[in-house]
């Protein structure tokens, strides 16, 4: 597994949004893992046509088994997907992706030079590269010049003693996200990590008051968090009562909590134990909590409930995990439709059915699974927890006012017969 460093740049269009989306796109790519990403730095254009705008630049550190030549082709495809048009040299661009280091590998071909031929002369690459050294745990090293990124950057730093010498400027995103969930009160179960944490964070960003839930202890008195083991029906009821009382009512419930039967000790349990755990948490607690909160919402006259299913629950997947999740998540999907009929028109109830989402299991999945994601997903990449969160924000908000009883697949277009 090699550590590679990629420089990103943009000086056309919404530069911040482009770089942020490019980092997300790299995080979603099968066969590589983003270890760390730098902040964004703004610099004046270098050797560009007159009138060119300032650049935003960043560097991303990757772990990958893919060859440098393969990465080059990937970066070219990503650039094209962001509207990159290659005209005259150094012309303005929506997105630039350059492979600057690949372990200690030296490549010199007509199509690819690694280390990048000029990155050691470019402070807009070195500044974010040096920033990453602490995050990656080791400094990037130039295998030809035999210097670390910090050593390469020192001549530039020495010049900054002169206040007239410009330096890369940290760029801070100041735009406020839409507040389309402002005033809504939400409970998101299983929200200490993964998809649940992303949904809770997205709700908060959009203005909602959110209660998070998990099995861990509450970290401090100010934390808006309720601890409950959803295998216990009494604790499910307590969670509903405490959340309702804490916020005065609930406008949104996301039943995201689920048992991990894929990683760690959970993945080593016998089939029957996994089935019992999935039925207890993924199915029974979802049904109990959604009914408890849902009928209170109906009495109040408003509310939205989101359950979490699985995109292959209806089509099926081979293997023990396929059987387990089809049974559990299929039940959740069907229950969602029935509850939607029961609680309409006051309460909307929908199910999100994620596909190949890069959670903890996806990060550690081997090459066979990485290739399967690429093969089975028309978009050719992993989904991210943020993708599920974006769909949850939509279902919870006013834009989905005419949507109930539906299963929304968040799976990159994957369809199985």
According to DSSP, residue 383 is labeled B
Q: CA end-to-end span of the chain, whole Å? A: 36
Contact 103, 3 (CB under 8 A): yes
Number of other CB atoms surrounding residue 25 within 10 Å: 18
Determine which one of 84, 212, 358, 409 is catalytic.
84
93 labelled catalytic? yes
Beta strand pairing call for 347-354 and 407-410: parallel
Determine which one of 33, 66, 93, 206 is catalytic.
93
Which tokens sit at 6?
Answer: 């990629």
Beta strand pairing call for 169-171 and 40-43: antiparallel
| Angstrom distance (rounded) from CA 316 to CA 15 | 42
Determine which one of 98, 251, 311, 387 is catalytic.
98
CB burial class (10 A; 0-12, 13-18, 19+) of residue 199?
Answer: buried
| Angstrom distance (rounded) from CA 39 to CA 75 | 20
| Angstrom distance (rounded) from CA 52 to CA 90 | 10
Instruction: Annotate 240-260 with three-state secondary structure.
Output: HHHHHHHHCCCCEEEECCCCC
| Angstrom distance (rounded) from CA 382 to CA 25 | 9
203: left (phi over 0), alpha (psi -120 to 50) or beta: alpha
122 labelled catalytic? no
98 labelled catalytic? yes
Determine which one of 96, 209, 282, 311 is catalytic.
96
406 contact partners, CB below 8 Å, separation of at least 6: 350, 351
| Angstrom distance (rounded) from CA 11 to CA 91 | 10
| Angstrom distance (rounded) from CA 112 to CA 98 | 10
Catalytic residue positions?
Answer: 84, 93, 96, 98
């Amino acid at each position: 597994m090699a550590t590679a460093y990629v420089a990103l740049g943009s000086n056309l269009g919404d530069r911040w949004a482009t770089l942020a989306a490019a980092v997300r796109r790299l995080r979603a790519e099968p066969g590589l893992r983003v270890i760390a990403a730098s902040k964004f730095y703004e610099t004046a254009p270098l050797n560009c046509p007159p009138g060119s705008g300032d650049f935003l630049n960043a560097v991303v550190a990757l772990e990958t088994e893919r060859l440098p030549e393969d990465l080059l082709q990937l970066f070219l495809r990503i650039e094209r997907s962001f509207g990159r048009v290659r005209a005259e040299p150094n012309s303005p661009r929506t997105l630039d992706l350059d492979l600057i280091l690949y372990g200690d590998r030296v490549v010199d071909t007509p199509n690819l030079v690694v280390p990048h031929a000029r990155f050691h002369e470019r402070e807009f690459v070195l500044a974010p590269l040096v920033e990453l050294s602490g995050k990656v745990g080791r400094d990037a090293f130039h295998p030809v010049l035999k210097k670390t990124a910090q050593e390469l950057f020192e001549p530039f730093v020495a010049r900054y003693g002169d206040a007239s010498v410009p330096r890369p400027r940290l760029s801070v995103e100041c735009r406020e996200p839409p507040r389309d969930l402002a005033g809504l009160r939400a409970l998101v179960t299983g929200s200490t990590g993964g998809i649940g944490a992303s949904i809770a964070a997205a709700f908060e960003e959009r203005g909602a008051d959110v209660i998070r839930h998990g099995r861990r202890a509450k970290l401090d008195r100010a934390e808006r968090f309720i601890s409950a083991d959803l295998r216990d029906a009494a604790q499910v009821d307590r969670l509903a009562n405490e959340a309702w009382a804490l916020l005065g009512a609930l406008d949104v419930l996301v039943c995201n909590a689920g048992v991990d039967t894929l990683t760690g000790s959970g993945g080593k349990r016998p089939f029957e134990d996994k089935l019992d755990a999935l039925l207890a948490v993924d199915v029974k607690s979802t049904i109990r909590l959604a009914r408890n909160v849902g009928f209170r919402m109906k009495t109040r006259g408003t509310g939205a409930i989101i359950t979490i299913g699985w995109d292959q629950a209806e089509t099926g997947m081979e293997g023990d995990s396929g059987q387990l999740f089809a049974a559990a998540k299929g039940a959740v999907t069907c229950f969602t439709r029935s509850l939607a009929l029961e609680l309409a028109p006051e309460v909307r109830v929908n199910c999100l059915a994620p596909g190949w989402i890069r959670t903890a299991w996806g990060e550690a999945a081997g090459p066979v699974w990485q290739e399967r994601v690429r093969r089975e997903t028309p978009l050719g990449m992993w989904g991210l927890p943020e993708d599920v969160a974006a769909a949850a924000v939509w279902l919870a908000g006013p834009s989905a006012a005419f949507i109930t009883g539906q299963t929304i697949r968040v799976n990159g277009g994957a369809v199985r017969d």
